[in-house]
Amino acid sequence: MAIIAPSLLAADFLQLQKACDIVNNSEADWFHLDVMDGRFVPNISYGLPVIEHIKKAAKKPCDVHLMILEPENFTEAFRKAGADIVSVHIEACPHLHRNIQQIKSLGMKAGVAINPHTPVESLKDILQDIDMVNVMTVNPGFGGQSFIPHSIHKIRELRRMIAERGLHVKIEVDGGVTLENAQAILHAGADVLVAGNTVFKSPDPIATIRQLKEL
């Protein structure tokens, strides 16, 4: 059964408590929290104080997706704010292995996110050290974009790489996940579905989460 991680980026920011209640009271598994710095990606979202507040309301793990340069400067602060899982971008980290060591040494699960143009092969020498890969299926920076179809091949290929090596790395798929394409994404080998607009812009988010969970 898939892990469902609703992205609060698509929630009403004036009603964050309500959004947290939706995730808490649904079959969702994690909170997906998108942090953008206006440098690595062309947008700014929210940061530490907001996550600190979400953490107080959250009854499920917080999966923090850092779309920022030099994440090492903030890893500890995100741990303190309540992150349980932290993903950093391969494209933003020349010393990726050190980033992963830092995240794990702080007691968090470590993920690596890859942009749509980054080949899954680039994970070859880090895969054994991480808990999760976030396969970005849109260009990071904005919610509500369309799933890039080629991503299906990447997910399948990554699943094969993980299986061949007998690893237990989770594959998270992030961007443009809908009720229509989720089945194919899972079939290709995804473990975690991130869904922003599909959940929070739906008339009944809890029912939509249930539908994703039942796929």
Residues that bind Zn ion (CB under 5 A): 34, 65, 174
| Binding of residue 172 to ligand DX5 (CB under 6 A) | no
Active-site annotation holder among 29, 34, 37, 131:
34
Minimum distance between the CB of residue 21 and ligand DX5, rounded to whole angstroms? 19
Active-site annotation holder among 29, 37, 174, 191:
174
| Binding of residue 194 to ligand DX5 (CB under 6 A) | yes
Contact 33, 108 (CB under 8 A): no
Q: How far apart are the first and last CA of the chain?
A: 8
Cα(160)–Cα(25) distance, integer angstroms: 35
The residues in 114-143 that bind ligand DX5, with binding defined as CB under 6 A, are 138, 140-143
Judged by CB under 6 A, the residue of 46, 48, 70, 197 near ligand DX5 is: 197
Pairing of strands 170-174, 132-136: parallel
Cα(90)–Cα(92) distance, integer angstroms: 5
- What strands, in cross-sheet order, belong to the sheet with 62-67? 3-6, 192-195, 170-174, 132-136, 109-114, 85-89, 62-67, 31-36
Q: Which stretch binds ligand DX5 (CB under 6 A): 23-31, 99-107, 188-196, 205-213?
A: 188-196
Pick what 10 binds: Zn ion, ligand DX5, none; C-beta below 5 to 8 Å, kind-dependent: ligand DX5
| Binding of residue 174 to ligand DX5 (CB under 6 A) | yes
| Binding of residue 7 to ligand DX5 (CB under 6 A) | yes
| Binding of residue 195 to ligand DX5 (CB under 6 A) | yes
| Binding of residue 34 to ligand DX5 (CB under 6 A) | yes
Minimum distance between the CB of residue 164 and Zn ion, rounded to whole angstroms? 27
Cα(4)–Cα(20) distance, integer angstroms: 14
User: Tokens 């020498």 label which residue?
Assistant: 125
Q: Active-site residue 12, yes or no?
A: no
Q: Which candidate, 45, 30, 127, 132, places its Cα nearest to that of 83?
A: 30
- Which residues are designated catalytic? 34, 174
